[in-house]
Amino acid sequence: MRREPDRERIRRRNRKRKLRHLRQRLAQTKDSAQRRRLIEKIRRISPTAPVPEA
C-alpha cells in the first residue's frame, strides 16, 4: 500500500507526462478546432500551466 506522499508524487509525475504529450500534439497540429480542444484539455489538467498559443 502506498503512502499519501507517494501517491501525490505519482499523480504529479503523471500530470507532467500528460501535459508534455498534449503540448507535443498541440505543436504538431494545424487544425484550429483540434488546437482549441487540446488547449482546453491542458487547462483542465493543470489550470495554472502555461499554454503555448503559437
* Per-residue pLDDT tens digits for 24-48: 999 999 999 999 999 999 999 999 9
What is the pTM (predicted TM-score) of this model?
Answer: 0.82
Report how far residue 7's alpha carbon sits from residue 43's, in angstroms, rounded to the nearest whole number.
Answer: 22
User: How far, in Å, CA of 23 to CA of 51, rounded?
Assistant: 8
d(CA 9, CA 21): 19
The confidence score (pLDDT) of residue 54 equals 57
Mean pLDDT to the nearest integer, 13-26:
96
The residue extents of the domains of the chain are 4-45
CA distance 6 to 4: 5
Average pLDDT, the chain: 93
Mean pLDDT, range 5-34, rounded to an integer: 96
Distances 29 to 2, 11, 38 between C-alpha atoms, Å: 38, 27, 10
